[in-house]
Amino acid sequence: MAIAGDQPRLPCGRLVDDVWDRIDAPPTAHEQSCEFCTEARGRLARLAEATAELRLNDDQDPAMQIGVGVKSAIMQIARTEIRRSRILPLERPAHHEVEASLAISEQAVTAVIRAAADTVPGLRARRCTVDLDTSRTMETAPNAPPEPAVVIVELRVAVAVHVSILEAVAACRARIEERMSRRTGLIISAINITVEDLYDD
């Protein structure tokens, strides 16, 4: 499940296009410390180097000229790669079933979680992962209505120095639970929040 028109984002929330636009500039403080931006910069840099080599060949061999759409094609490949993510079932598989019939991408779910967390004043969402709670299968009678899948949320956040960490984390959990129930229908068995940084407003 994806929202049409959404620009692909890295798990840290940065737009892939923003990383590409700065590929010739030194990495920002965030990009230096973020594993996702570092990996994306490395891949895009290699693509940029490859196209630079092809452009050099163009100068020497007109028959090898690159079309004007090369950059667009490169970015389309990069966007497609970023969009790929793990798939989570929306329904809880019955004990005898291998998988549920309805599913959603982990990227779509983590986008909902980060958006909910970012509504808490003085708290910024960072890395987020969602895993199916495999201990929560169900024994149901034939033709029984499906039940929502159960997931475990792992979220890393930064909190402003003037904010109560306990209050911010409690508010964050409540907003994630409310928005996840409303937007995805998934049931959350645990929301594990790690405060990994403090920042000044």
**Cα–Cα distances in Å, from 76 out to 45, 73, 80?**
15, 5, 6
Q: Which residue has the tokens 């019955």?
A: 94
User: Dihedral, CA atoms, 21, 70, 4, 92, nearest 10 degrees?
Assistant: -90
What span, in angstroms and rounded, lies between the C-alpha atoms of 151 and 91? 11
How open is the CA angle 17-42-14, to the nearest 5 degrees?
35
Tens digits of pLDDT across the chain (201 residues):
333 344 567 778 778 778 888 888 888 888 888 888 888 888 888 777 776 666 666 566 655 555 556 556 555 555 555 555 677 777 776 554 545 557 788 888 998 999 999 999 999 999 999 998 877 655 555 566 677 888 999 999 999 999 999 999 999 999 999 999 888 888 999 999 999 999 886
Query: Dihedral of CA 46/48/51/53: which sign?
Result: negative
Residues of the chain with CATH 3.30.70.1350: 87-199
How open is the CA angle 162-179-161, to the nearest 5 degrees?
10
What span, in angstroms and rounded, lies between the C-alpha atoms of 98 and 16? 34
Class of domain 87-199: alpha beta
Numbers of helices and strands, H then E, in the chain: 6, 5
- What pTM does this model have? 0.55
